[in-house]
A and B are shown apart, each in its own frame.
Chain A
Amino acid sequence: DAGVIQSPRHEVTEMGQEVTLRCKPISGHNSLFWYRQTMMRGLELLIYFNNNVPIDDSGMPEDRFSAKMPNASFSTLKIQPSEPRDSAVYFCASTTGWRGVSYNEQFFGPGTRLTVL
């Protein structure tokens, strides 16, 4: 199994630009989570999906952030417009569960390191 795949691994952009992060979960997993990791705030859950439906987006910082999961094998996290304070490592994780409730291991991707200048 290839594990959770994220792309790009590194992204450098200028303030105001649109950024799209992509995630392919492990085949068969029906729950997908987007996290953000910074030195100041640690690891924060942004949003999670169950069976392609967003269950809880209360962690999304503001309207500049949006996430979609058009099918079971693909999800995107978009920031528009980007700001320097969005610089962080963004992780995607997947597991099996129901409406976000899961007692199973979350498998994390390698992350996307975003730098907004």
Chain B
Amino acid sequence: AQSVTQPDIHITVSEGASLELRCNYSYGATPYLFWYVQSPGQGLQLLLKYFSGDTLVQGIKGFEAEFKRSQSSFNLRKPSVHWSDAAEYFCAVGEGKLTFGTGTRLTIIP
């Protein structure tokens, strides 16, 4: 069965600081991995996805993620966060039928 673990429930960073959100997955085959962002009161929006090829993928809003098969991880990074990045971030795995992690809430300190 596929599963996703996001070990950090809540992260607080200062504006301008770098960010890394952790995601570990369990999947029986080549994983199809996604990062979504949810702003308060909104639906989810895709940040980036990984299917194959280059293990470092670029997404929207300056985000990137690195797939590491040996660690079963797909961590999300951003070199410098902006106040508008405050939101909840979800990692997901699957081919259509997605399994989501429990999410990481990001708070930005001015």
Contacts and interface: CB of A to CB of B under 8 A. Distances in A.
Interface of A: 4, 31, 33, 42-43, 45, 48, 56, 91, 93, 95, 97, 100-103, 105-106, 108-111
Given A42-B101, A42-B102, A42-B103, A4 B96 contact: no
Nearest to B48: A105
A110 B97 contact: no
Most A CB contacts (10 A, CB to CB) among B41, B43, B102 go to B43
Contacts of A33: 98
Contacts of A110: 41-43
Given A42-B102, A42-B103, A43-B90, A103 B97 contact: no
A102 B96 contact: yes
Contacts of B17: none
Given A42-B101, A42-B102, A43-B90, A101 B44 contact: no
A62 to B, nearest CB: 20
Contacts of A31: 96
Nearest to A108: B43
List the 7 closest A-B pairs by CB distance, nearest first: A108-B43, A102-B96, A43-B100, A100-B96, A105-B46, A108-B44, A42-B102
14 contacts: A4-B43, A42-B103, A45-B98, A45-B99, A100-B96, A103-B96, A105-B49, A106-B44, A108-B44, A108-B45, A109-B43, A110-B41, A110-B43, A111-B43
Categorize the interface residue count of chain B: 20 to 34
Contact of B96 (A48, A91, A109): A48
B51 interface: yes
Interface in B23-37: 32, 36
Contact of A101 (B36, B41, B45, B95): B95
Given A43-B90, A111-B43, A103 B102 contact: no
A102 B43 CA distance: 19
Given A106-B46, A108-B44, A108-B45, A101 B96 contact: yes
